[in-house]
């Protein structure tokens, strides 16, 4: 059966991981597509439609207060003879998450709690009181995220008969409450199949607000994901009002993505993004934490420990785990989906990623440089040694000195770099390369990981540093000999090596990730920067994932033409580290325009259309909003366009300033 992934670009949401609520742009939750209220990867309500005297109020404005609160402003037509909108209704929706706390002395906690609540405030300028009947129609649901992403409906309808019910099993519970005291108007709850109604009889007096309230309290006692622990990230200060808007919005988004795993409840990391990836992702969490090092080390330290706690210790082709390997993603259950015509079946803990392990090493080094206490680093040195050995013993499938991937399970990810869709690795003519695939940027990550890993081993008196310096030198030599291509615009690094060890000649943004890693000499850096800045790659808004000259290019193809905010930000970081400040500022200015066009929220990705043809960036309609590494890119943009932001909080361990960004982001 054909499936259609729901679009999100015109939806509105509130988020507090692992709780989220998605509505249409006017605040109504109608059950279409991804609209609904979620706890973890389950949608528990797919409808919340508000009416006044039998018809929907007239929406006029949506006011985003934070990632956790949005206000929807309506007018109610109470008198047909009065043209002025004299009766207003403000619908303030909030999301908050928490934890089940059976005892703080236990090291391992399970279970999460959360609340989605609304306050409805009616105010009138009429001379006489206005009597209204307000109704909220809720629709109970039990649909998994994977079903929603594939456009499917739940096969397990929920029919509540009381204000408390389970949506999946005895470990999950939803409790509906309505305001019944103080200044609020009490509501009457009714049940009919999957529909739950709340009715309020309201008298709105001139100059006196009538307040209605309702909420759903959600409990998932067996959830592996918990709300993040510790203080929230504090927004850095910038004198530039545009950068200030970007940073404030981004930090609000990032705080709404803070999670912890039940096995490490005090180690906070960032969920990859809402709604599709509201969970732990190795690569995404690492990159976002690394970008944030100039303003906080807390997220990086939590991410390092949480991932180290699940580092591979065995070999299993079903999960793609290997000794020393850092995981790709964690889910509650098996994830079954269709991807580019292939049936995916990913186990709850899946290790199918080629780059998370070297990136984990780089994050450990950069967090240490940014102020992570030596004692905390020392605790992770055994994990560092295991991760370095994975580069040598497992990441290189055929002994040629390069890291490559190949899904041997038959139901895992075909591509295992950050461009992990099935059609991402293309020759210049647009045809797909066959694996095993050795990606260009992964070799650079391995080079950097070996270099900084050796520095850590020396600094902490551990043996083996010279082996990894030799490994890095050999990687640079092999890369220089095998990866370079040439076309009419000159030499450039290939996207990858294919199964036959031929250089896949697609011109892509991947080459930009080589900057700042140390694998390129000065001349090679200049060649890469020149190619990245060419109009075939730089759209004016950001760096396209694939050159417009490629036979497979399309501006809204996920990994083959669209622009990803974090991808461009990583390139900016590399340019800054290698001294290309002017080019970095040009790319950062493009992303700042994108943020401004999207109410200061950097999208996960957007169309590769040129800024000379589109007055505003074209949305990629199914992309996450918010998304961790896109939001964290704001710190990189701020570093490229002005003095680096300084951390505001007392948590300590910040690199601080622009130089800190260069030391930590790449």
State yes or no: pLDDT of 54 exceeds 80.
yes
For residues 113 and 19, give the distance between their C-alpha atoms in angstroms, rounded to a whole number: 8
Lowest-confidence pick of 62-76, 151-165, 198-212? 151-165
At residue 254, φ and ψ (nearest 5 deg) are -65, -40
Which residues are paired to 63 by β-bridges? 71
For every residue of 34-59, DSSP letters joined together read: T-EEEETTEEEEEEEEEEETTB--EE
Q: Which of 265, 215, 255, 232 is nearest to 102 (CA)?
A: 265
- Average pLDDT over every residue of 153-179: 90
- Average pLDDT over every residue of 552-566: 98
For residues 176 and 196, give the distance between their C-alpha atoms in angstroms, rounded to a whole number: 10
State yes or no: pLDDT of 542 exceeds 70.
yes
Q: Which of 55, 43, 35 is nearest to 134 (CA)?
A: 55
**Per-residue pLDDT band at 180 (split at 50, 70, 90):** low
**Domain boundaries 228-665, corresponding CATH code:** 1.50.10.10
The two tokens of residue 420 are 């992990």
Quote the strand ranges of 221-272, DSSP E: 225-227, 258-261, 264-270
The two tokens of residue 604 are 């996960």
For residues 602 and 596, give the distance between their C-alpha atoms in angstroms, rounded to a whole number: 8
Give the Cβ contact number of residue 182 at 10 Å. 7
Residue reference for tokens 């309500």: 45
State yes or no: pLDDT of 651 exceeds 70.
no
Distances (CA, A) of 376 to 300, 373, 553: 12, 5, 46
pLDDT at 642: 83
Distances (CA, A) of 524 to 47, 479, 578: 55, 12, 11
Domain boundaries, the chain: 11-220, 228-665
Task: Let me know how long the chain is.
Answer: 666
The two tokens of residue 160 are 């509540």
Distances (CA, A) of 88 to 50, 53, 71, 227, 526: 14, 14, 12, 35, 59
pLDDT at 344: 85
State yes or no: pLDDT of 278 exceeds 80.
yes
Of the CATH numbers 3.30.700, 1.10.10, 2.70.98, 1.25.40, which one belongs to the domain with range 11-220? 2.70.98
pLDDT at 101: 63
For residues 494 and 474, give the distance between their C-alpha atoms in angstroms, rounded to a whole number: 18
pLDDT at 179: 80
Give the Cβ contact number of residue 364 at 10 Å. 28
pTM over 0.85: yes
Cα angle: 13, vertex 15, 17; to 5 degrees: 150
- Average pLDDT over every residue of 485-505: 98
| % of the chain beyond a pLDDT of 90 | 84
| For the chain, the helix, strand and coil percentages under 3-state DSSP, each to the nearest 5 | 25, 30, 45
The two tokens of residue 543 are 């760096």
For residues 266 and 259, give the distance between their C-alpha atoms in angstroms, rounded to a whole number: 10
First to last CA, the chain: 44
Give the chain's radius of gyration (CA, Å).
26
Lowest-confidence pick of 101-105, 136-140, 647-651? 647-651
State yes or no: pLDDT of 664 exceeds 50.
no
For residues 216 and 1, give the distance between their C-alpha atoms in angstroms, rounded to a whole number: 34
Which residues are paired to 484 by β-bridges? 493
pLDDT at 62: 96
For residues 18 and 100, give the distance between their C-alpha atoms in angstroms, rounded to a whole number: 13
């Amino acid at each position: 059966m054909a499936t259609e992934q729901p679009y999100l670009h015109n939806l509105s949401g509130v988020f507090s991981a692992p709780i989220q609520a998605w509505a249409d742009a006017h605040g109504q939750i109608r059950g279409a597509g991804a609209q609904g209220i979620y706890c973890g990867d389950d949608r528990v309500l797919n409808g919340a439609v508000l009416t006044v005297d039998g018809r929907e109020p007239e929406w006029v404005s949506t006011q985003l207060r934070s990632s956790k609160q949005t206000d929807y402003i309506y007018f109610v037509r109470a008198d047909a003879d009065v043209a002025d909108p004299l009766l207003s209704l403000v619908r303030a929706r909030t999301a908050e998450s928490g934890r089940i706390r059976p005892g703080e002395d236990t090291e391992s906690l399970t279970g999460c709690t959360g609340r989605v609540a609304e306050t409805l405030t009616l105010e009138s300028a009429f001379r006489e009181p206005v009597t209204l009947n307000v109704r909220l129609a809720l629709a109970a649901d039990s649909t998994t995220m994977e079903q929603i992403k594939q456009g499917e409906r739940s096969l397990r309808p929920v029919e509540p008969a009381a204000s408390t019910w389970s949506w999946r099993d005895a470990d999950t519970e939803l409790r509906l409450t309505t305001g019944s005291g103080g200044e609020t108007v009490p509501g009457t709850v009714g049940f009919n199949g999957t529909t739950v109604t709340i009715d309020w009889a309201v008298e709105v007096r001139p100059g006196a607000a009538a307040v209605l309230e309702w909420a759903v309290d959600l409990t998932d006692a067996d959830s592996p994901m918990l709300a993040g622990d510790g203080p929230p990230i504090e927004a850095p200060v910038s004198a530039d009002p545009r950068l200030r808007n970007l940073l404030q919005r981004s930090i609000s988004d990032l705080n709404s993505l803070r999670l912890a795993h039940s096995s490490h409840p005090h180690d906070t990391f960032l969920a990859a993004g809402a709604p599709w990836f509201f969970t732990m992702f190795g690569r995404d969490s690492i990159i976002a934490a690394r970008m944030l090092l100039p303003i906080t080390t807390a997220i990086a330290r939590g991410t390092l420990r949480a991932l180290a706690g699940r580092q591979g210790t065995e070999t299993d082709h079903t999960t793609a785990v290997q000794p020393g390997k850092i995981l790709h993603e964690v889910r509650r259950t098996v994830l079954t989906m269709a991807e580019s015509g292939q049936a995916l079946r990913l186990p709850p803990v899946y290790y199918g990623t080629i780059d998370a392990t070297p990136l984990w090493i780089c994050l450990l080094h950069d967090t240490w440089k940014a102020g992570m206490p030596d004692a905390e680093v020392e605790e992770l040195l055994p994990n560092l040694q295991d991760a370095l050995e994975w580069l040598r013993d497992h990441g290189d499938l055929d002994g040629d000195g390069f890291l490559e991937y190949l899904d041997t399970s038959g139901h895992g990810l075909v591509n295992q770099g950050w461009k992990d869709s099935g059609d991402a690795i293309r020759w210049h003519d647009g045809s797909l390369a066959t694996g095993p695939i050795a990606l260009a940027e992964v070799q650079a990550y391995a080079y950097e990981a070996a270099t900084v890993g050796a520095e850590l081993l020396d600094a902490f008196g551990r043996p083996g540093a010279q082996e990894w310096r030799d490994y890095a030198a050999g990687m640079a030599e092999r890369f220089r000999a095998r990866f370079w291509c040439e076309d009419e615009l000159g030499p450039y690094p290939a996207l990858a090596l294919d199964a036959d060890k031929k250089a896949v000649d697609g011109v892509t943004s991947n080459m930009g990730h080589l900057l700042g890693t140390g694998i390129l000499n000065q001349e090679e850096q200049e060649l890469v920067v020149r190619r990245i800045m060419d109009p075939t790659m730089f759209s004016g808004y950001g760096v396209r994932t694939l050159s417009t000259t490629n036979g497979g290019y399309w501006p809204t193809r996920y990994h083959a033409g669209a622009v990803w905010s974090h991808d461009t930000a990583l390139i900016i970081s590399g340019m800054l580290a290698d001294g290309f400040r002017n080019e970095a500022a040009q790319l950062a200015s493009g992303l700042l325009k994108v943020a401004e066009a999207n109410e200061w929220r950097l999208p996960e990705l957007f169309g590769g259309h040129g800024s000379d043809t589109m007055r505003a960036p074209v949305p990629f309609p199914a992309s996450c909003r918010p998304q961790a590494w896109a939001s964290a890119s704001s710190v990189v943009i701020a570093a490229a366009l002005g003095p680096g932001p300084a951390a505001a909080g007392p948590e300590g361990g910040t690199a601080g300033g622009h130089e800190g960004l260069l030391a930590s982001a790449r």
